[in-house]
Amino acid sequence: MFMKEINQQSVAAITLGCKLNYAETSTVLDMLVSRGWRLSTIEEGADLIIVHTCAVTGQAEQKSRQQIRKVVRNNPGSRVAVIGCYAQLDPERLAGIDGVGLVLGSMEKLDPEYYCLNPEPGTLVRVSPTRTFGDEAMPASSMLCRTEKGRTRAFLKIQDGCSFGCAYCTIPNIRGRSRPVPLELVLERAETIALAGYREIVLTGVNIADYRYGGIGFAGLLRRLEAVDISRIRIGSVEPDLLDDELIAVVAGSQKIMPHFHLPLQSGSDAILRLMGRHYDTATYRNRLEKAVASIPLCGIGADVMTGYPGEGEREFEEMSRFIAGLPLAYLHVFTCSVRPGTTLARQVASKELAPVPHPEVARRASMLAGLGGGIERRFAESFIGSRMAVLFEEGSTTEDGRIRWSGYSGNYLRIDVDVDAVAEGGGFRGEEHVVLVEGIGEDLHLQGRLLF
């Protein structure tokens, strides 16, 4: 039973995981602020602290538990609410952590009533089964008060869930099948973001290129978003088989859609891709990647790659390494396979159909891929030395010699630093876009440049 409603309370949040989680955290905070809550920080000891968890890997779950315990330990006077994918996947385990007062599933976390009402003593757990998720329960689109860097960038959720059914992935068990945010709501939220002064919209979701609403697909949505008075639209992750000619053409012909994709590869071995249940082979991946790079000026494409997948032998690993080395990539994100409960892979491992790769070998392979990725990232960044690039600045800091260093991102997602005289700082460059002449590269692989006014 619920007791009296909470009024004039303070709220803070910490988010783990993907950009979609950040977008949804923003939505929750916006809803609470609109109901009279005061936005605070964890350091200030807010009345309610929300921990938005991740469950994409076992390591992500461990980090989530550690973060929850840290928040409880350091904030004994705060009520702690746990939301996110881990809360949907294993609510009872999280409810069993001393000091947790509220655990909400994927649907419930976007219902402000659960945060605004004070339950009786104990932990309130509200998690709907994934099988009950339907279009009518689609979560609201996300934006706006809390973003990565001030008023530079805002996340906009356009879609949730996934219907692809990859063997290793637990996300469909947590977020359900693919469902779009209604087109009119996406456009309304985008206009609100623009009016609030943000310069870049980052589209988020589980499988955003699978967007389908009322006969409008992802490319059609992008065309509608181009009419919004915003400087930049960033797409993010796109499944390789959904990076079709129409989508490439839309990005190539746009002044607002950034020339940047994240194109998950997962494996460079066709045998492992089949075990994973992916919807493409290496030939298709190469074709789509090369077509995008050839068609879109300055295009930067990064990839996810997973090693240690059960059944991955030395031959498959070497195939993957050779394949990746021959691709025109901008960067590489390396992951190790984590067998998630309730997945096809978990059943295959339990039945001994597939054997896990020994941990020392997984670590060796991950280290080798990380080294390969570092070389890929450096080569791509160095190819722009001597170029003029538009940079949207996000944050400034002071160097040891008293100069002001501002950092931001190019359209193809290269991090670029510029040093300016302290007297020139004024109100700062945050949220401003300026042309920079790229002159070098630092040890951190940030490009270094000079402002061209």
Q: Tens of pLDDT along 410-425?
A: 999 999 999 987 544 4
The vertex-226 CA angle with 288 and 215, nearest 5°, equals 70
| pLDDT on residue 121 | 66
Q: In this model, does residue 3 exceed pLDDT 80?
A: no
Q: What is the DSSP letter of 425?
A: T
Q: In this model, does residue 312 exceed pLDDT 60?
A: yes
Distance, CA of 375 to CA of 59 (rounded, Å): 26
Tokens of 155: 């996340």
Predicted confidence band of residue 212 (pLDDT cuts 50, 70, 90): very high
Mean pLDDT over 137-148 rounds to 44
Q: In this model, does residue 137 exceed pLDDT 80?
A: no
Q: Among residues of the chain, what percentage have pLDDT more than 90?
A: 75
Residue pLDDT, tens place only, 273-292: 999 999 999 999 999 999 99
Residue pLDDT, tens place only, 333-343: 999 999 999 99
Residue 186's alpha-carbon distances to 181, 377, 417, in angstroms, are 7, 33, 33
| pLDDT on residue 134 | 65
| pLDDT on residue 132 | 74
Helix or strand (DSSP H, E) at 85: helix 85-89
Burial letters 40-65, b for 16+ CB under 10 A, else e:
bebeeebbbbbbbbbbbbeebbebbb
| pLDDT on residue 423 | 44
Mean pLDDT over 438-448 rounds to 94
Residue 30's alpha-carbon distances to 8, 11, 127, 191, 396, in angstroms, are 15, 11, 22, 16, 26
Residue pLDDT, tens place only, 224-272: 999 999 999 999 899 999 999 999 999 999 999 999 999 999 999 999 9
Helix or strand (DSSP H, E) at 150: none
Distance, CA of 118 to CA of 107 (rounded, Å): 19
The CA radius of gyration of the chain, in Å to the nearest whole number, is 23
Q: What is the DSSP letter of 331?
A: E
Predicted confidence band of residue 19 (pLDDT cuts 50, 70, 90): confident
Of residues 164, 329, 159, 178, the one with CA closest to residue 261: 329
Of residues 402, 405, 411, 401, the one with CA closest to residue 433: 411
Q: How would CATH label the architecture of 135-382?
A: Alpha-Beta Horseshoe (3.80)
The domain limits of the chain are: 2-128, 135-382, 388-451
Q: Where is average pLDDT lowest: 173-182, 314-323, 382-391?
A: 173-182
Tokens of 224: 């509608």
Distance, CA of 439 to CA of 386 (rounded, Å): 6
- Contact at 8 Å (CB) between 155 and 330? no
Phi and psi for 330 in degrees, rounded to 5?
-100, -30
Distance, CA of 48 to CA of 101 (rounded, Å): 10
Mean pLDDT over 190-206 rounds to 93
| pLDDT on residue 446 | 95
Residue pLDDT, tens place only, 370-411: 999 999 999 999 999 999 999 999 988 888 878 889 999 999
Phi and psi for 175 in degrees, rounded to 5?
-110, -5
Residues in CB range of 206: below 8 A, 6 or more apart: 20, 159, 160, 161, 162, 171, 175, 178
Catalogue the long-range contacts made by 401-406 (C-beta closer than 8 Å, 24 or more residues apart).
Answer: none
Sign for the pseudo-dihedral over CA of 369, 375, 378, 382: negative
Please provide the distance, in angstroms rounded to a whole number, between the alpha carbons at the two ends of the chain. Answer: 62
Looking up tokens 């949040």 gives 13
Helices of type H across 311-443: 314-325, 344-350, 359-382
For domain 2-128, which CATH number applies: 3.30.1700.10, 3.10.20.30, 1.10.760.10, 3.40.50.2300?
3.40.50.2300
Of residues 336, 401, 342, 392, the one with CA closest to residue 363: 336
- Contact at 8 Å (CB) between 289 and 301? yes
Predicted confidence band of residue 45 (pLDDT cuts 50, 70, 90): confident
The vertex-306 CA angle with 300 and 309, nearest 5°, equals 160
Q: In this model, does residue 149 exceed pLDDT 70?
A: no
